[in-house]
Structures are given as structure tokens and as C-alpha cells.
Structure 1
Amino acid sequence: MRIREAEIYDIKQIQIVRNSVSENALSDPKLVSDEDCEEFITIRGKGWVCEVDRQIVGFAIADLKGNNIWALFLRPEYEKKGIGRLLHDTMLEWYFSQTKTKVWLGTAPNTRAETFYRKNGWTEVGTHGKCEIKFEMTYNDWINKKG
């Protein structure tokens, strides 16, 4: 298992992972284009992938311009192996090395993702869009969580 920065050539595999999830699935895979992914990992922020046997099994993308976690997804068969936590922590470590501005994300209620973010120190602050829970993480929360 290896965590590394995402590259443009990873986008095809990132899309496969994104479209393999059972929770927080896209209603239409065309809603997130390859061009969107490229913009978020090269211009707006940075991304990371987890590889197992040269196959991308998970990825995370932070949007520095929008102070947002744009994505954190795993192939279902790789959940509950610590990969999500590694990607999460790598992404937040980078994010808070770039800015001290709080970061937010949205996720569907009553999902494993909601439980994951709560367990990892995120604070619910309201709703995002029509049906997502909005969470925030401050720099101080991140530093205190790390101990």
C-alpha cells in the first residue's frame, strides 16, 4: 500500500474509484468530469491516491481555493483497512500547512462517511445543498486532534 500525490494520469482510475462507491454515489457520473478532477489536483488544490499492486483503491482531494474537501473515496472492498484515515490525515496535514483557514465538507446523512468524519474530529455546522450535512475542521481542532 502506498500513498502518493495524484497526477493527471491518475484521473481515469480516480473516476473508476469515484463511480464504484455505494454511498454518496453520483446521480450521474458525468457530473464530475476529468477536466474537473484535473483542475482540482493541479490548480485549485492537491490530491492523493492510495495504490495497492499499482491499482488506485482510494483518493482524496483538497480544494485550497474553496477551503473545501472536494473528495475522499475508497473502493468498497478497501474500506475498514485504515486507508481512508491515511488519506484524510495526509490531506489535512497538507491543507493546514498551506493555510490556517477552517476547511469544510458535505456528506450525506446516515452514512459511514458521516460516522467517519465525526470520529475524526469534524464538527457539524449545518447543512449543505438540499440534503448534505456540513462539517468543518479548524486549524486548532486539527492540531489538538493530532496531539
Structure 2
Amino acid sequence: MPLRQATRDDTAEIWRVRYAVTENTLTPGRITDAELHAYLEDFGRGWVVELEPGRIAGFSIGDARDGHIWAMFVDPALHGRGYGRQLHDVMVDWLFAQGHQRLDLGTQPGSRAEAFYRRAGWRPLADGLDAHGDKLFELHREDWKPHAANP
């Protein structure tokens, strides 16, 4: 599973994967290419699992300023192959290496993603949902266990 840092050249594939998902959907145009590029180049970093040149299985993008996982998605046709966990773990490791003690994210309540994050050690925040209706989660550095340590 070739994992590499995402670049603006991955924009079309990132959007292809993002709009293919059936949970945590996004209205096309709500986020611009410029916004995506800012997260990849200015505020944070992203990774992709590249199946072959120009074709990605999924991506993750995190914000170095505040330890927020901004996006993480895998092509639904490729679920269950470990790509999500690979993307998750590199993102979490990188964000903690930026000095954060706590990471956060939001996801659709009751989704496959919510179950995935719970299995990875994330805990829901008591204050519930954000302005978009996403359930809020956090992960503390002291609670982080690499994939091999998580059942």
C-alpha cells in the first residue's frame, strides 16, 4: 500500500474519493480547491494511498495549527483493506509530532467512520455535535496506541 504525502496534483483524485462516499457526504463546491490546497501546503499536511500513478484509494488531511483531522476518506469500493487505518495512523503520528497533546475531529453520528474512530481509541466529547451535525471526538497523546496495539 504505497503511502505518500499528498500534493495539489492529487486534487482531482481527492475530490473523486470525497464525492464517492455515501456517509459524511459533502455538497460539491462547499470546499474550494484553494481551501484544499491551503490545508495541504499552508496549515497542515495530507497523505494518500496511491494504488497506481494517478489513482488513489483514499486520503487524510490534518491541520497542524490545532491538531484537527480535517478530512479522511477511503473510496467505498475499497473499504476493509486497511487503507483507512494506514491513513489514520500516519496522520495521528504526524499531528502528535507537531507537539499537540490532544487531537479532535468530527464525523457523522452512527456512521462507519464513527465506529472506525472508536475502535482506534477516539472518545466522544460530552458536548455532542458541531454546527454541521457531526459528532465530535478527541484523542489524547497518552491514550494513543499504534495500530498493532489496538484490537
TM-score by length of structure 2 reads 0.91
Tell me the SS of whatever aligns to 1:66.
Answer: coil
* Cα shift readout 1:86-113 (whole Å, capped 9, x = no counterpart): 0000111111111133110000111100
User: How far off is 1:141 after superposition?
Assistant: 1.1
Return 5+ residue gaps in structure 2 as ranges: none
Segments of 5+ residues of structure 1 without an aligned counterpart are none
Distance 2:61 2:100 in 1: 17
Q: Which runs of 4+ in 1 moved over 3 A?
A: none
- Residue by residue over 1:97-137, the C-alpha shift from the partner in whole angstroms, topping out at 9 and shown as x without a partner, is 11133110000111100000000000100222252110001
Partner SS for 2:105: strand
Indicate if the aligned counterparts of 1:12 and 1:34 stay in contact, CA closer than 8 A: no
For residue 128 of structure 1, the aligned residue among 127, 130, 135 is: 130
The answer to whether the 8 A contact 2:61-2:91 is kept is yes
Name the SS of the counterpart of 2:65 in structure 1. Answer: coil
RMSD after superposition: 1.1
* Residue 56 of structure 2 is aligned to residue 56 of structure 1: yes
Amino acid at match of 1:58: G
Q: Report how far residue 37 of structure 1 moved.
A: 0.8
Distance 2:85 2:111 in 1: 16
Q: Partner residue of 1:41?
A: 40
- Other-structure match for 1:31: 30
1:3 is matched with 3
- 1:7 and 1:101 mapped to 2: Cα distance? 27
Q: Name the count of aligned residue pairs.
A: 144
TM-score w.r.t. length of structure 1: 0.93
Aligned residues: percent identity? Answer: 39
The answer to whether the 8 A contact 1:121-1:137 is kept is: yes
Match of 2:95 in 1: 95
CA distance in 2, matches of 1:90, 1:3: 9
Is 1:86 aligned to 2:86, yes or no?
A: yes
Local SS of the residue matching 1:18: helix
